[in-house]
Amino acid sequence: MLRYSLISLVVEVQKHLQFLVENPSVAKTLDVPDLSRKIIDTPEKQQSLQKLKSEIDELAIDIAREISPLFVSSQEAVQRRLMEAQVF
């Protein structure tokens, strides 16, 4: 059960990061927990967001390959494989 929860978490984080990268104006509205400043308040942090997204994408690919070693490594195939693995 925990395995599927972790896979689900990776899928949702990947989707959210993709949304934030595609919508930088939304990313720039996010606050740190104490509301003292914006999370993405410099161009370097926007670049770091893109890097984090790339790392999560690679993690998703690695997980999908572990589940099914012979899959095509397109983003759609990765999402499909991870979603199939979430079946409880």
| Token couple for 11 | 């899928």
**b (16+ CB within 10 A) / e for 12-24:** eebeebeebeeee
Instruction: Please give the Cα distance from 60 to 13 (Å, whole number).
Output: 10
Q: Do residues 11 and 17 lie in contact, with contact meaning Cβ atoms separated by under 8 Å?
A: no
pLDDT (0 to 100) of residue 17: 97
pTM here is 0.74
Domain tally, the chain:
1
- Walking along the chain (88 residues) 10 residues at a time, the average pLDDT comes out as 74 94 97 96 97 94 78 68 64
Instruction: Please give the Cα distance from 22 to 87 (Å, whole number).
Output: 28
Q: Residue 66's domain spans which residues?
A: 2-85
pLDDT (0 to 100) of residue 88: 46
